[in-house]
Chain A
Amino acid sequence: MLRPLASLIIASVLTMPALEVYAALGRPPSTLAGNVSHPVPAAVARRLAATAPMAPNLYTVQETQLESRTVVREYATPAGQVFAVTWKGPVLPNLQTLLGGYFPAFEQETAQARQAGRQRSRVLLQTPALVVQSSGRMGRFSGHAYAPDLVPAGVDIQALLP
C-alpha cells in the first residue's frame, strides 16, 4: 500500500510565525521552504518537513508543528492548491483558517449535530464537496479534511489519511 508519509524527506527546520502558518483548503499551501523571507517573530512554529512532489509528481506534503505542538500536514497539487489537511496534537488548529472557504459547511454540519443533541461529539462529515473527520479528547486531538473535487487524479486519498 502506498504510504507516502514514510518517505517524507526532512528538508529543513525553519522558524515560522505562530499564526497563519498553514493555508486553507483550496488555497496555495503555506510558504514553502526556501521562500521564507519575512522576519521571524518571537512566537514561532517549526516547519518540520516538506517534500519534493511525490512520484510521479502527483502532490507535495508539508508538515508544520505549531507552537502548541500540534502537527498540521498540508497536501497540495503540483500547481500549489491544498486538497487535504490533517492535524494531530494537544490542541485543535484554527479550523476556520485551515478549512478556509469550506469552513461554513463544517459549521453548518456541527451546528445541526449539536441541535440534535450531539454536542461535542466526534465529527464525521461526508459530502461530495467536503470530507471532515475530527475526534479525540482533551489534549489528544486528531482529524483530517479534504475536498474530493480537488484531489489529483491518481492519488489514493484514503491511503494518505490516518
Chain B
Amino acid sequence: MRHFPILIRLIILALVAGALVACGGGGGGTAAACSNASSNSTPAYSTYISNQSNAVELTVDNGPPCSGYNVNRLYTSVTVCQSGNASLCQTIDHVLVDTGSTGLRLLHSVLNPALNLGTVTAASGRPLLNCIQFVDNSHAFGRVATADVTLGPKIAANLPIQIIADPAYTALSSNCASGTGNNTPATLGANGILGVGMTAQDCGIDCTTISSNNYYFTCTTGTCSAAVGTTATLAKQITNPVSRFATDNNGVVIDLPAVPSQGATSIAGQMLFGIGTASNNTPIAGVVSLTTATDGYITTAPVGAPTVLSNASMGNSFIDTGSNGVYFDATLPLCSSATDFYCPASNTTVPTTLSGTNMSSTSVSFVAGNAQSLFNTSRSVLPTLTGPMGDSTTFDWGLPFFYGRRVFIGMENTTTSLGTGPLYAF
C-alpha cells in the first residue's frame, strides 16, 4: 500500500469529472490527458541521482490525473506513516513543492483512512484546526495531525501536518477565509502542498500569543459544531519537515534542468536537503548569497536603458517555487485572451540585478515569451511565462527562475556555509 488505493483513485476521478468540462481557458486539459494517467511518467530530462543520503526527486508535469491543465508546478512524492508505526504508511505522489510556504498539507481525500493519523489538540483539549490562505482568497482548512514524514531518505518524526478538507471540519472553513476551499486534487492541482520555505513554523511566535491569528482555530463544542481562534505553541504548529531532520536541516537546494524557451511536457530534477552539509549541497565557487530580513524580500532592479521594466527598484521581491510564472510590471504587451500574462511578439530578454540585505548582488537575465503561444502548446513546463504584477514594489521570481539553476534557500536563524538565513543563493 505505497500508493493510494484504487478506491481512492476512483473517488478522485468522480470528484473531478465535473471540473474537466470547464477547463478550457488555459488552453489544455484535454479529456485524452485525463484518461491517460500514466502520460507523465517519462520526463524529458533528469538530473536526479538516486541513492544519495539527502535528496528527493522532483518533477514538473501535468499534475495528478484529471486535475486540469497545470503549468509550472513542482511536485514530489511524500511518504507519511502513523507516528511510531513504520508498517502503516502511504506514499502520496504529486505533492506541490512550495518554497513560499511552510509545512506539509495533504488532502483528506487522498489519504487512506486506515492511516488514522492522530489529531493534535489545542490548549482547550479539543482538535486544533489550521487555515492557510492564498492570494486569490482561496484557502485550505483542516485539522492538525501528526505523522512520521519521509522525504526520500530523510525522516521528520511526529511532525504536525495539516489534513485539508477533513469532512468532519469542513463546515467550519468559513472561519478561515471568505473564498473557496482548495479541497480536491482538481482545485489544488496537487494531492497536497509541501512547504519547505524559510521558516520553521507556518505562523511562528505571533500565534503563541494572539488568538485571533487566522491560522489556528479550535472547536468550541464536543461535536465541533463551531470554532474559535486559538493560540498554538510552536511545537503544535504546522512545521517545516526540513527543520526536523536530524541532519541536513538548515535549508534546501532546488536543482532543476534548463528548459528550451518553447517549453517541455515534463522535467525531472531533485531537491537536496541541507546547505554545505554534504558534498552534493556545498556551493561551488561563484555562488552568490543574498540574505534577507525575516520577510524574505530581496530587491530587483533593471539593468541598462531602455528597459521594459516599469519600476527602478522593487524591494519586495522574492523567489518562490510556488508561483507558476515570473510576475513584474513592464511595458510588454498583454495577451488578448489571457490578459494577466504578457504576449510579446518575440522572445524578449530582460536583464536585471538582484540584491540582498547583505549588499551582495548578482545579475539575472531572463526571457519573456508569448504566453498565449506557450499555453497553446499544452505543455506544463513553460520557462518564459511572465505576467504583470500590479505592484510597483514587487518582482515575483516564480518557478521559471529555477529552470537551469541550483538555488539554495537557507532557513531563518540557521547557519550555513553561505551565511545566516534567511537567504537565497545561486
Could you tell me which A residues sit within 8 Å of B by CB distance? 18, 43, 66-69, 90-92, 94-97, 103, 106-107, 110-124, 126, 133-143, 162
Contacts and interface: CB of A to CB of B under 8 A. Distances in A.
A142 B389 CA distance: 12
Per DSSP, chain A at the interface is mixed
B69 A138 contact: no
Given A92-B177, A119-B188, A106 B137 contact: yes
B298 to A, nearest CB: 13
Contact of B211 (A43, A69, A97): A43
Contact of B137 (A110, A126, A137): A110
A97 B189 CA distance: 28
Interface stretch (B153-161, B164-172, B202-210, B280-288): B202-210
A121 B339 CA distance: 14
Given A91-B214, A138-B195, A140-B296, A119 B182 contact: yes
Contact of A115 (B25, B195, B203): B25
Nearest to B134: A120
B250 to A, nearest CB: 20
Interface string B119-152: 0000000000000111111100000000000000
Q: Which applies to chain B's interface (DSSP): helix, strand, loop or mixed?
A: loop
Given A97-B178, A135-B394, A115 B22 contact: yes
A42 to B, nearest CB: 9
A137 B206 contact: no
Among B135, B188, B325: residue with most chain A CB under 10 A:
B135
A103 to B, nearest CB: 7
Contacts of A66: 212
A126 B387 CA distance: 14
B133 A117 contact: no
A132 to B, nearest CB: 9
B100 interface: yes
B388 interface: yes
Contact of A123 (B133, B136, B182): B136
A123 B68 CA distance: 20
A134 B136 contact: yes
A66 B212 CA distance: 9
A119 B340 CA distance: 13
Contacts of B322: 120, 137
Nearest to A123: B136
A68 B214 contact: yes
Contacts of A91: 133, 213-215
Interface in B55-79: 68-71
B102 interface: yes
A98 B388 CA distance: 24
B327 A135 contact: yes
